[in-house]
């Protein structure tokens, strides 16, 4: 499932297919950027907030990751770990489990399930969405999945990579 990009070895992609419960995203891979951001010492979350906003990803929030499978059928999401660490299961029970640490960023395409399975330290995650997108909360279930199968393909692509801007890896990997 993992395929590191030759031009940026810190970016990995994960193709997560519909598992019959979580729709995931057949077209767009999950992107993981390791040690992507040098955070300020005085207010680490603000480093992500400023960076994401500058690259067209707004509506930022500070919190963690829910401990149950959920996904967004109407928005893509970026998560930046500001402190602590978090282990997340992406793609449903048959998906991939990844641990993110301070400075790491995960870009989650619409429809891709995610669930916190562990955390350590004083966890603080900053999340954001492409300009013009509002996240909806979807959980496992037949009706939710049927709705998502129609909605996910209609979610607009972002105008820029949330970390590297208009010329970042997302633009190539997601076909912008």
pTM of the shown model: 0.93
Q: What percent of the chain has pLDDT over 90?
A: 90
> What pLDDT digit, counting tens, does each position of 45-71 carry?
999 999 999 999 999 999 999 999 999
> What pLDDT digit, counting tens, does each position of 83-125 carry?
999 999 999 999 999 999 999 999 999 999 999 999 998 999 9
What domains sit in the chain, N to C, each tagged with a CATH number? 11-165 (2.60.120.10)
Could you report how far apart the first and last alpha carbons of the chain are, in Å? 22
At 6, is the pLDDT very low, low, confident or very high (cuts 50, 70, 90)?
Answer: very low
pLDDT at 7 over 50: no
Q: Give the tokens for residue 95.
A: 């998906």
From the CB of residue 36, how many other CB atoms can be counted at a distance below 10 Å? 22
Neighbour-count burial of 113, counting CB atoms closer than 10 A to its CB (0-12 exposed, 13-18 middle, 19+ buried)? buried
């Amino acid at each position: 499932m993992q395929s590191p990009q030759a031009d940026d070895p810190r970016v990995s992609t994960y193709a997560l297919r519909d598992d019959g419960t979580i729709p995931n995203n057949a077209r767009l891979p999950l992107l993981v950027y390791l040690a992507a951001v040098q955070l300020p010492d005085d207010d680490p979350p603000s480093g992500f907030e400023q960076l994401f906003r500058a690259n067209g990803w707004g509506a930022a929030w500070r919190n963690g990751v829910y401990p149950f499978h959920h996904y967004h059928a109407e928005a893509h999401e970026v998560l930046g770990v500001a402190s602590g660490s978090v282990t997340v299961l992406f793609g449903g029970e048959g998906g991939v489990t990844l641990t993110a640490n301070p400075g790491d960023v995960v870009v989650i395409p619409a429809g891709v399930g995610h669930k916190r399975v562990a955390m350590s330290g004083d966890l603080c995650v900053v999340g954001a969405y492409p300009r013009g997108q509002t996240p909806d909360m979807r959980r496992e279930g037949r009706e939710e999945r049927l709705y998502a199968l129609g909605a996910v393909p209609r979610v607009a692509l972002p105008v820029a990579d949330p970390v590297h801007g208009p010329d970042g890896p997302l633009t190539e990997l997601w076909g912008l």
